[in-house]
Amino acid sequence: MRRILYNLFLILLASPLAAFSLDDAEQSILKGKAAEVIPLLEGYSPKTETETLRRMWILGVAYNRSGKSHQAVAPLARLVILRPDDPTFRLELANALVKSDQIERARYHLELAKGAGLSPSVQAKVQAELDRLAKPKKWQGYFRFAIVPESNAARRTSAETVNLSGFVLRLDPNSRAQSATAFEIGTGVATVPRLTDALRARFALDLDARLFDGRAPDEVTLRTSASLLHFADEGRLVSAEIYGSQRWIDDAAYAHTYGLGLSYTRNLGTRARATAVLQRERITYDGSGVGVNRTAGAAQFAYAASSQLVFRVGMRAESRTSSYSPVAGHAAGVTLGGDYSFAGGLRVGLDLSFDRNEFDGVHPIFGVARVDKKTSVMLNLSNQNWSYKGFTEVLRLGFEEQRSTISINRFRNATASIGFTRSF
């Protein structure tokens, strides 16, 4: 029996696993034998932290090179969590995500890698891949849903009374601020036929709904659009869109809109990106027949200070004309914000916005011109390394306050949103 056990020991000692090293695995991958080393890597027990990281890296590359990109994502994502400043790990993860058709996650990691001090040649390759991914597939779609509790879902005043030319009227409790919980759902589909190498058409249909528990009005919006998209170097995208939409509140038609939109996006160097948008639309309120012509413009600038930190600033303005002066007027706003990606994959976004909205003429009931000033803050939390069957979790926390020259238009609202989203 001793002789048999001794012979077994010698056989195990001489087995490929006993003689296997991470250097051997790297050489096998270079020779095109990635699939052969995967079982050996899966059974390998690293002895140091350096070996642990190296094993994860080689295993992720082996999976990726052998056509098992879905399995490559886990070890590579773990590497990015442990070493977020190393662009090599992040680029290999992005490559695996592209191959496994997780495009949004791939674009996220490629954008972060751009701010990691890449060499000019690698930077050019990353930008070329981003430009390629920006060109949409022939068919696109998305689905999202969320539970959204709000302290003042209908954005109503908390005042108990209003003063009309010296007459004090008590407001109905049902017309004042009250909390409500919404179930939000959004879905859309688009076809994007290729016209030339640089030109695409896009035809889309989108549905958004906010369904409450009876303490606030339900809202449903259906939108259809047709666009032309022109792609060029340096991340440039020019688009022109015609669109129409219908909005319902509590099952009754509220307003319909049709309009034209133009947008331009481009990179500014390797770290910055700028976007400009123009809109011209006609809004008609179904109940009253009142029409509003709205012209709006917006611009946003984003800057990647590092592979983890992105700052952004946005500005917007609009002008409204109408035969009914209380809805005409103009507005302007600004947003400051940024995103930070932590080592564990957590991504935190914070945006602070201020808007001023002035209405023409004198309000027919309150006898003063209406001016609204709204301040809002929104915190977004997500984890780009977490995904379940393509769905990504998103948590939002927000607060908004509107001051107004008309008391019933003043409100405060706190909101939280726990949702899941998926693109396909």
pLDDT tens by residue, 254-309: 999 999 999 999 988 778 899 999 999 999 999 889 999 999 999 999 998 887 88
The pLDDT value recorded for residue 336 is 98
In this prediction, residue 89 carries a pLDDT of 85
Of 259, 261, 262, 260, nearest to 238 by C-alpha is 262
DSSP string, 360-418: SS--TTT-S--EEEEEEEEEEEEETT--BTTBEEEEEEEEEEEEESSGGG-EEEEEEEE
In a domain, 5, yes or no: no
Q: Which of 85, 111, 134 is the last residue of a domain?
A: 134
Please check whether residue 130 lies inside any domain of the structure: yes
Using the predicted structure, report yes or no on whether residue 125 has a pLDDT greater than 90: no
Judged against a pLDDT cut of 50, whether residue 1 lies above it is answered with no
Above 60 in pLDDT, residue 124? yes
Highest mean pLDDT among 21-25, 106-110, 388-392, 411-415: 411-415
State whether 277 and 395 are in the same domain: yes
Q: Within this chain, do residues 387 and 411 fall inside the same structural domain, yes or no?
A: yes
pTM beyond 0.75: the answer is no
- Average pLDDT score, the chain: 85
The domain that holds 37 is classified in CATH as 1.25.40.10
The answer to whether residues 144 and 197 belong to one domain is yes
Highest average pLDDT, of 2-11, 148-157, 161-170, comes from 148-157
User: 89 with 209, same domain?
Assistant: no
Q: What are phi and psi of 324, to 5 degrees?
A: -105, 100
In this structure, the answer to whether residues 127 and 259 fall within a common structural domain is no
pLDDT value for 45: 78
pLDDT at position 242 is 98
Q: Which residues contact 223 (CB under 8 A, 6 or more apart)?
A: 204, 205, 206, 207, 208, 243, 244, 245
Worst-scoring range by mean pLDDT, 9-23, 117-131, 226-240? 9-23
Q: Is residue 13 pLDDT above 70, yes or no?
A: no
Query: Residue range 323-336: average pLDDT?
Result: 94
The answer to whether residue 271 is domain-embedded is: yes
Region 330-340: what's the mean pLDDT?
96
| Domain co-membership, 78 together with 57 | yes
- How many structural domains comprise the chain? 2
pLDDT greater than 60 at residue 5:
no
Higher pLDDT, 153 or 392: 153
Quick one: 270 and 399 in the same domain? yes
Q: Is residue 196 part of a domain?
A: yes
Residue 157 lies in domain: 139-423
Question: Which range, of 101-105, 396-400, 411-415, averages the lowest pLDDT?
Answer: 101-105
Neighbouring C-alpha atoms within 13 Å toward the C-beta of 252: 7
Do residues 64 and 92 lie in contact, with contact meaning Cβ atoms separated by under 8 Å?
yes
The verdict on residue 312 lying in a domain is: yes
